[in-house]
Every structure is written in structure tokens, then in C-alpha cells.
Amino acid sequence: MPALPAVEYRICPAQPGAHLFEVSCTVRDPDPQGQIFRLPAWIPGSYMIREFARHIVTLRAELDGEPWPIDKLDKHSWRAAPTAVKGTLSLHYEVYAWDLSVRAAHLDDSHGFFNGTSVFLAVDGRTDRPCLVDIERPSGTAYRDWKVATALALARGVRGAARPYGFGVYRAADYDELIDHPVEMGNFTLGHFEAAGVTHDIVLSGRHDCDLERLGEDLRRVCEWQVALFGAPPPMDYYVFLTMVVGEGYGGLEHRASTALLCSRADLPWKGMAGGAETLPEGYKTFLGLCSHEYFHTWNVKRIKPAAFTPYDLSEENYTRLLWAFEGFTSYYDDLALVRSGVIKPEEYLELLAKTVSNVLRGSGRGKQSVAESSFDAWTKFYRQDENAPNAIVSYYAKGALIALALDLQLRAGSEGRKSLDDVMRLLWQAHGQSGIGVAEDGIFAAVREVGGGTLGPRLARWLEKTVEGTEDLPLARLLKGFGVDYHVEPAGKTPELGVKLATGNGDEVRLATVYDGGPAQAAGLSAGDVLLALDGLKLSAKSMDAMLARRQVGDEVEIHAFRRDELRQFRLTLAAPEASKVSLKLAARAGAAVLKLRRGWLGSTK
């Protein structure tokens, strides 16, 4: 049976100054009833309808090189006119690319970046066909040194096939594979390391002074640990960390053989940075944790998927109550991989873990929304947070990570160290990741039940189901004590508080970003968006506020003047004690042999 013709794409950064990609899509055997084309409405890994089609500026069709009618059906779909005879149908369109994030596309005279979901129209009825994409160099001598970085396969044997890091033709097995390989182009810095027999590239776009050798060595250790966790060989034969370096920024999005990252240049390692016996800078640990998180998704989410995502329907929301496992468990393992691989010390890991616990405790939304509900409502709540979010929602990332911690500790303690969450992840990989069978909504509970076995498995499965569907705080102090870790909680600050969070980036203006439930400000009638002007008749500023509050006592009544819109308002409120939400975790000074054995199994070597 002859091979079906490939769908052919061409993309050119034709006008970097105008941020426009020129794209074409060619089908050699279009549907004679009228070929339909669609652009995804969202990108896997970021659970919000993004409406990428709104960035298509112009679009026209040609049949055998002649203009051909095409109509828009809805916000992201087009249908070409029926064809009475066989021919070649091509769409030519422009995409505006000025979204400096990991989710869409960005183009200027310094670099170009795109996700396929933002630029490549899917051809109805042809998405299972192989795809060829010709990535063209922008015209002009200013771009002659530009390179290309992507995990897309080179189209070897095809005319115009790209060479490594070059412009030209790449291939994908089908549309799903095509859109799962983002592309970076420009004068980027390129680093390499080998992990588990696989070449890994680090691509840095933007100005930086990164010590690539140090970054590569630290990432190598993290990647090798993760591969060992699931079992070699890794599920890809090449991997690339595509990183856009900016003044201030943070973000990551996973793909099957790469990740798109956004980081602050101050978070990258530099020559002469303290290491070895020293603790790592906080920003660098944050960046390593981000890289670790996205790399872990190579298994958990990209291949071990909820059944609701197999396959994805990129035209509308895909609902699941399991993001607490796919994002939350990944959030647990991202920093755990740093300590288990020896990149950071156990004490540093406990500091990172304490911050996660503190962040969860600071939001009263944790008592109103379960992580299962948060997962299901990600499309409308978690990814569309407003000023009331801390009072209304819980993060399935952060609390999901703490649920993973609690489950891991209980598996280890209940089996005397013979079983752990690692075994659950390996079972999910073997049963679902390697088979492609999606995880049912009760599939995580079933995996825990099987791994725990005996009475432990069913008991922990019941606990887990109750926990993810409920809003109770986790018994972390008790569980950590069994692993020789002391849990302390204290007030988040030393001064009386108003029960608010201030907006940032407004200079010295004291604008309220959030008014917390049950706090003095809410009781007095203050609202998010109010601009505080004076406290007891004295001018307030972002710099002076803490100092003014420090001179008062819990229970003092104060007078606040504030602008709401353009109206001057007056409020009287009673200052409250800071909430006890700052958690610290320390290795216990004394621990028995059995406890130390459990702790070593969890964290690796400790004192």
C-alpha cells in the first residue's frame, strides 16, 4: 500500500521587526467536500483556553497555485471550497508573535520562538499523517549566523533537509508530534551533556553570564537520577532545554523531548559561584527545580496521562480531577530529585519544602476547595486567578506536592522502607506510560493499593481518596517526626498586621492586591485595589508601612484613609496578630537507627 502524502508546512520569520511569521500548509489530496483546517485553542500542559487563532493576521488559500475560496467557520476553524478535481491545496497566513512566554510564539530581531500549537493549522482527517516543516532563515545579513534548536527530527533524505542546528526541512510522524516540539532560533548559546547515554542540549537565548559547564553538570546529575527512577533507557533519544533569559521571569512548559523555559538571568550560575561545601544561591536552586520539574514531566504527563487526555482535544477544555497527581507529584519530585541526586544538601531541601508548606498554609482557600476540585476547575479558576484567589482556591501544584510527600512517608514507614512513592511512579510508567493507556480517574488510588499491598495498600488508597477530595490539613508534623525531621510553625511576621497583600511594581504606592478572609482589613471594609494613603493621619508608603505597624500593638485600633477609584474613604480597623503560617523544618538532633534508615531511604545520605 503506497504511503500517504505528508502534510507540508513552511514557516519563515519574514518580518522580525513586525513580529510576523509567514506560515503555509500544503495538502496534496484535500477533502473534495471542502477541506477543514483548525488551530488549537490551548496547549497541553497549560490548562486554559488561549485562543491562539486570534493571532492570525491574514489568511488565504490557493488550489494548484490559483486563488481559492475559503470561509471561516468559527473562532479557530476554516473550510476551503469543495474541489471537483484533485489538486494541491495550500493555505498561506501570517501569525503575530509577541508573547514572551513558554506557551505561544515570540519574534523580534534578536530571536524567534514558537510552539506548534500557535502556528501550525491542523488538517481535518489528515492529523495522523507524517508532517514535513521547512523552517526558513529570515532574509538579510543580520541573520546569517542564526541557528535552530529543536527536538524535531531532521528530514533525512528529503530535498532541503536541515542539518543539526540548521534551517531547512524537519519531520514529524504526525500532527501531534509536530506540535510537541517547540523551536528556538537566533544567536543562542549552546551547551551539551550526556545523561543515561542520551545527548542533552542547553540552549540559552538572551544576554547572560552563565557557567554552562556548571549548569550542565548539575542537570546531568538530576537527569540521570530521574532516568534511574523510572528505569533506563529514557523514552527519548535526544533532549533540549530551550531557555529564554530575561531580566525577571519564570516559567516552564513540558514537551516529549524538550522543555521551554523562561528564567531570570540572575538565577543562572556564574563562574566562581559558591559551590561544594557552600549552599547554592536561592535563585539557582529555583531554576534547577524548574528544570527538574519539566524533565520529570517527560514521564509524568507526557507519557503517563489521565485518560481524559488520551487523546487531547485541543478545541475545548479537557476535564480531569487528577492534576494533583500529574502536577502535584511532579512538584514533589522536582526538588526531591535535587537532593537525591546530590546537587543540594538535605538541609537545603528541607528549606525548600518548608516554603511549600508555608505557602499552602497562607491561603484560606485550602479549606474551601479540594485538590480534586482545583484540578477540575483549572480551566476557569487556577489559570484565571483574581484578587480573591487565595481566599477561594488551593493550588493542586503545591498541596498536591504535600499530598505526595505525606503518601511517600506513609508508604515508607508502613513498609519499613521496602515501598515508596517511587514504586507507585514505576508502576504507573509500566502500566500506562509504556502502553499509552490513559490513567482512569481512580487509577492513582488503584496503583497505591497495589504497591502497598496487604492492609497497607487499601488503607493508604482510602486515605488518599479522602484527602484529595477533602480540605483537611495534612498531618505533616507527625509524619516527618517519624523520619527525624522537626516541624516548627511560627507567626509569619513580627508586627501586627492588616490582613492584606500589597501589589508590587507600583513604586511607593500602597495598593492592596488581596484582602485576606477574616482579617482586620476585610472586617473594616477595605477591598483589593484600594490605595492606602495614611495611617492615623500620617502618610503611608510601601517603605514606611512596616515601620509604622511595628510601633503599634496587636488589638490597637487605627484609622486608615484610602482611595477607592477616585473617592476618598475612611476606615477604622483593629490590628491582628500575624498568622502562624511560617514553617521551618530541621533535621532532628537525635534519631534512632530505624528512623535514620527511613530518612536515608527518603533523602539519601544525611548526618
Q: What is the pLDDT of residues 443-457, one digit of tens each?
A: 999 999 999 999 999
pLDDT confidence bin for 2, thresholds 50/70/90: low
Residue 103 reports pLDDT greater than 50: yes
CATH superfamily of 299-486: Neutral Protease Domain 2 (1.10.390.10)
Mean of pLDDT values over 67-87: 95
pLDDT score at 258:
98
Task: Note the pTM of the prediction, 2 decimals.
Answer: 0.96
User: What DSSP string runs through 315-327?
Assistant: TS----S-HHHHT
* Domain 299-486 matches domain 500-578 at the CATH topology level: no
Average pLDDT in the chain: 96
* Contact present, 152 and 175 (Cβ < 8 Å): no
Closest to 146 measured CA to CA, from 155, 135, 137, 136: 137
pLDDT score at 86:
86
Residue 3 reports pLDDT greater than 80: no
Residue 275 reports pLDDT greater than 60: no
Mean of pLDDT values over 209-215: 97
pLDDT digits (tens, 9 = 90+) for 516-531: 999 999 999 999 999 9
Q: How far is Cα 424 from Cα 411, in angstroms, rounded to an integer?
A: 10
* Contact present, 254 and 294 (Cβ < 8 Å): yes
* 7-187 belongs to CATH 1.10.3720.10: no
pLDDT digits (tens, 9 = 90+) for 489-518: 999 888 999 999 999 888 889 999 999 999
For residue 403 the three cell numbers come to 499530598
pLDDT score at 276:
52
- Cell 514531566 maps to which residue? 297
Mean of pLDDT values over 480-490: 97
Mean of pLDDT values over 186-207: 98
pLDDT score at 483:
98
Q: How far is Cα 150 from Cα 178, in angstroms, rounded to an integer?
A: 11
* Contact present, 520 and 579 (Cβ < 8 Å): no
- Maximum distance among all alpha carbons in the chain? 85
* 188-280 belongs to CATH 1.20.120.450: no
Q: Where are the domains of the chain?
A: 7-187, 188-280, 299-486, 500-578
pLDDT score at 1:
44
Dump strand ranges (E) for 54-213. Answer: 56-63, 66-68, 70-74, 77-80, 89-96, 105-107, 111-114, 122-123, 131-135, 147-150, 153-154, 168-172, 183-186, 189-195, 198-205
pLDDT score at 274:
66
Residue 404's φ and ψ, nearest 5 degrees, are -60, -45
pLDDT confidence bin for 484, thresholds 50/70/90: very high
CATH class of residue range 500-578? mainly beta
